[in-house]
């Protein structure tokens, strides 16, 4: 039998596992998701990200737990964040914890259809795909798979968008309960200034926005106690 040299010129290639790099906003530092990512062998770098919560390769991710999502819909903060993340060509909205908290429930302060409308706007108006995860462990698995994909990293030079004067006026009006962008624009077109709106009588407001006028009128004249 011919002798076989097991120590031949053939080299055994030892493939070193590449580090899975994930960039996270500093505000995410104490989250369970970060602990899970580190435990799974990811190298997490913390930065002050003006836009998005995570950057993985060429994808920007805005992460919301269910409770955080609902509160951000009510105070309209999420819409600003969706506008800002448009600076990235590839972006995701990750909604975490659907096994831990129901997205729709009867005791919620926000109407079910308002949530449905938000989800539709996110995908159709803002062109942002939505990923629902069971919990932080599930979120980590999604991120790890994404980190393994062979794509180029992106610039971190995204900036917070500064509102122009017109947008600032609309933002203030949208602060009233049940007042969305359409109603806010309608009021501003009619009154031109916030001062004129504040000085308007109830009947004028009712002719423009119906029952919503009562909420606006009450808040304008309510005393701070």
pLDDT at 139 over 90: yes
For 159-213, what is each residue's pLDDT tens digit?
Answer: 556 667 777 777 777 777 667 777 778 778 877 887 787 777 777 777 777 777 7
Domain that holds residue 99: 20-148
State how far the Cα of 23 lies from the Cα of 48, in Å rounded to an integer.
10
pTM of full prediction above 0.75: no
Burial bucket for residue 37 (CB in 10 Å: 0-12, 13-18, 19+): buried
Q: Which of 148, 181, 196 is the last residue of a domain?
A: 148
- Count of domains in the chain? 2
CATH number at residue 66: 3.40.50.10130
Q: Are residues 115 and 205 in the same domain?
A: no
Angle at the Cα of 56 from the Cα atoms of 55 and 57, rounded to 5 degrees: 115
pLDDT exceeds 70 at position 46: yes
């Amino acid at each position: 039998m011919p002798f076989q040299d097991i120590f031949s010129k053939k080299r055994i290639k030892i493939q070193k596992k590449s580090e899975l790099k994930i960039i996270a906003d500093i505000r995410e530092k104490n989250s369970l998701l970060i602990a899970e990512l580190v435990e799974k062998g990811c190298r997490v770098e913390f930065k002050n990200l003006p836009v998005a919560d995570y950057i993985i390769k060429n994808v920007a991710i805005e992460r919301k737990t269910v409770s955080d999502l609902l509160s951000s819909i009510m105070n309209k903060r999420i819409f600003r964040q969706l506008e800002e993340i448009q600076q990235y060509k590839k972006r995701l909205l990750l909604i975490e914890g659907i096994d831990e908290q129901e997205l729709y429930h009867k005791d919620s302060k926000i109407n079910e259809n308002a949530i449905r409308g938000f989800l539709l706007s996110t995908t159709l108006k803002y062109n942002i795909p939505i990923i629902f995860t069971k919990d932080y462990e599930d979120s980590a698995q999604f991120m790890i798979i994404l980190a393994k994909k062979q794509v180029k990293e992106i610039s971190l030079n995204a900036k917070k968008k500064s509102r122009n004067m017109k947008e600032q006026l609309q933002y203030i009006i949208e602060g009233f309960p049940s007042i969305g962008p359409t109603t806010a624009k309608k009021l501003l077109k009619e009154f031109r200034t916030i001062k004129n709106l504040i000085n308007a009588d109830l009947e004028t407001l009712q002719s423009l926005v119906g029952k919503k006028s009562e909420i606006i009128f009450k808040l304008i004249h309510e005393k701070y106690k």
